[in-house]
A and B are shown apart, each in its own frame.
Chain A
Amino acid sequence: MNNSQNNIFHPRPSLPAPRHSKGALHWVKTNLFNGWFNSILTLLAVALVSFTLPGFIQWAFIKAVWVGDTEVCKLSDDGACWSFIDAKFRVLMVGVYPESESWRAVVGTAIFGAIIVATVANWLTGKVLLVAWLLVPVFGYFLIGGGFGLKEVDPSLWGGLMLSVLLATVGIIVSIPVGILLALGRFSGTPMIKALSIAVIELVRGVPLITILFMASVMMPLFLPPGFIIDNMLRIQIGMIIFSSAYIAEVVRGGLNAIPKGQFEAASSLGISYLKAIWLIILPQALRHVLPPLIGRCIALFKDTSLVIVVGLLDFLGMIKNSSLDSQWLGYETEAYVFGAFVYWVICYSLSRYGALLEARDPTSHSK
């Protein structure tokens, strides 16, 4: 190699791509009009959008009535009557919760919001985060229900978005540990425990939530000893927890399955007791694995709370339906449901984005 004459290699300069292979026109050509079939599709899609979107914008924004009573709304036929939502706002948010105690909902929302912000922004971590979230159900029930000096408010008066969020939050927080226990029970070597866990999980997952809610609402009182009364609201909360636990158990099982066998062998070779190995090594890994599907369960549970309307609670959706039937404000069902859909969508979509964020943030993730 040493005897060859040294020709120095001069790389050619990179040239810019020719105009026909880039730019807006090229993009339109390759993404919208490559081939006759795609061109027809594009035209149809554009037609669809241009028929629906301007009309919706007209209705929802441009011609909409934002303030005023029914009389004002009646004047504008083809615009949305958002003042209807304004008039019903309190009911939609807290239901028929006593007006004098409304401040509690505001305080609760503020604290809950703060915890959420702190969680998403990663300000709270580890045990502090865990404790904060474990306190949410206790504090939530205390704040809304009263007691210990606060005026007591009967659960039959709870309602609106407040009730939906309470049912979902408490439901998910309580059902995570229950679900983990069920999942571990499913892997248990004791046939009794295993069989019981499988029976509970499969039975609950096999039936619709409505039947569980019926069970909680009408069947559960029959099982309780005389004189021992659980409020309907609480029974339904228990029903939601049972339902959610079975699904979370399945999610956690997936996480446990994904842990390589070596982890267990490593733990036992270090002489760590079984329970400690589960608590310190297996569960943390399994839970990290299943965070995205767990978030999925949160979304599902929040959507599912809307079913409590069937057993007589008036949650957010219940209040939306009720408001649209108000004889003073007849004919604004569309506004009610569009607003409801918007609120549910914002909450659920944010949750799913948060799930995606967690997945991206997870340093141990090896998916895609």
Chain B
Amino acid sequence: MTGLLLNTSSNNNVIEFDRVNKWYGDFHVLKEINLSVKKGERIVICGPSGSGKSTLIRCINALEEHQGGHILINGVQLDEQEKSVMAIRREIGMVFQQFNLFPHMTILENLCLAPIWANHLPEIDAQALAKKLLKRVGIEDQAAKYPGQLSGGQQQRVAIARALCMNPKVLLFDEPTSALDPEMIKEVLDVMTELAESGITMICVTHEMGFARSVADRVIFMDGGEIVEENDPETFFKHPKMDRTQKFLGQLIGH
């Protein structure tokens, strides 16, 4: 049903992959990827390491170049023109596994960098926006500290707030909880769940199956550089179609 809808109203798609291929040297990382993401959709991508899932989402904001096929963001094709890439990146927020906060800036400065230098926001407005977002992720009292003074969970929440600073239409998460201690995972997932409920388009590479089950509209399983299976979480977890998916889920549960 959803598939039918997707095909008929492609204008509604925020992101569209059309037979995308990518190589690292001679290694074929992404093979003929076709994928459409609707506005407001929440997608979880999972798969074994090396399956190309991170590469896939890094292609969306052109951190990686693709070599075959097309990627359309809001109907605009991604090309190598620096200006259009910059414009598209401002529409897309990204959260990294290793947080990648700027260690030499305070939390507030981390959040204000892009609004001031990319959006030309007055400093006061940028700071007000930053404080509002810090409050949203629950750490407004840490604004004057440096990233090194925060716990991993707090740092990742700052990173999420930083990604939100540009008021993006799409949020990309690249294994946001993989580098965290277990007791800190929940605080980050809570923020992500709250974001998901706000209606923003989200694409999330993660192995947090509980999160996928409760939040995702669609779960995508990747292996060997291609999409093996995609489905709504209910079906995906209960009745996986492919043997490869079953094996992967079996291993996850086996742990």
Contacts and interface: CB of A to CB of B under 8 A. Distances in A.
Contacts of A8: 242-243
**Nearest 8 pairs between A and B by C-beta?**
A9-B244, A17-B23, A14-B28, A4-B239, A9-B242, A11-B224, A12-B31, A21-B67
B243 A6 contact: yes
Contact of B243 (A7, A14, A18, A20): A7
A9 B239 contact: no
A1 B23 contact: no
Contact of A16 (B26, B32, B228, B239): B26
Nearest to B32: A12
Given A12-B32, A12-B226, A7 B242 contact: yes
Given A1-B250, A21-B23, A22-B26, A15 B240 contact: no
Interface of B: 21, 23, 25-28, 31-32, 67-68, 223-226, 228, 238-246, 249-250
A298 B240 CA distance: 65
Interface of A: 1, 3-9, 11-12, 14-18, 20-22
B67 A18 contact: yes
A22 B27 CA distance: 11
A9 B223 contact: yes
A4 B68 CA distance: 35
A86 to B, nearest CB: 50
A22 B25 contact: yes
A65 B68 CA distance: 58
A17 B67 contact: yes
A241 B245 CA distance: 69
9 contacts: A1-B240, A6-B243, A7-B243, A8-B242, A11-B224, A17-B25, A17-B26, A17-B28, A22-B26
Contacts of B68: 18
A1 B251 CA distance: 13
Contacts of A5: 241
B254 to A, nearest CB: 12
A118 B31 CA distance: 53
Nearest to B249: A1
B246 A4 contact: yes
A6 B246 CA distance: 9
Nearest to A4: B239
A5 B243 CA distance: 9
Contact of B239 (A3, A11, A15, A21): A3
A14 B28 CA distance: 6
A368 to B, nearest CB: 17
A1 B246 contact: yes
Looking at A9, A11, A14, A21, the one whose CB has the most chain B CB atoms below 10 A away is A9
Contacts of A11: 223-224, 226
Nearest to A18: B67
Contacts of B67: 17-18, 20-21
A4 B224 CA distance: 23
B99 to A, nearest CB: 21
A21 B32 CA distance: 17
Contacts of B242: 7-9
B110 to A, nearest CB: 27
B243 A9 contact: yes
Contacts of B226: 11-12
A292 B168 CA distance: 48
A11 B224 CA distance: 7
A4 B241 contact: yes
Given A7-B241, A12-B31, A21-B67, 9 more contacts: A1-B246, A1-B249, A4-B240, A4-B241, A4-B246, A9-B223, A9-B244, A17-B25, A20-B67
Contacts of A20: 67
Nearest to B24: A17
A14 B245 CA distance: 20
Contacts of B228: 9
A5 B27 CA distance: 32
Contacts of A4: 239-241, 246
Given A1-B240, A21-B23, A15 B250 contact: no
Contacts of A6: 243, 246
Contacts of B249: 1
A9 B48 CA distance: 15
A16 B68 CA distance: 12
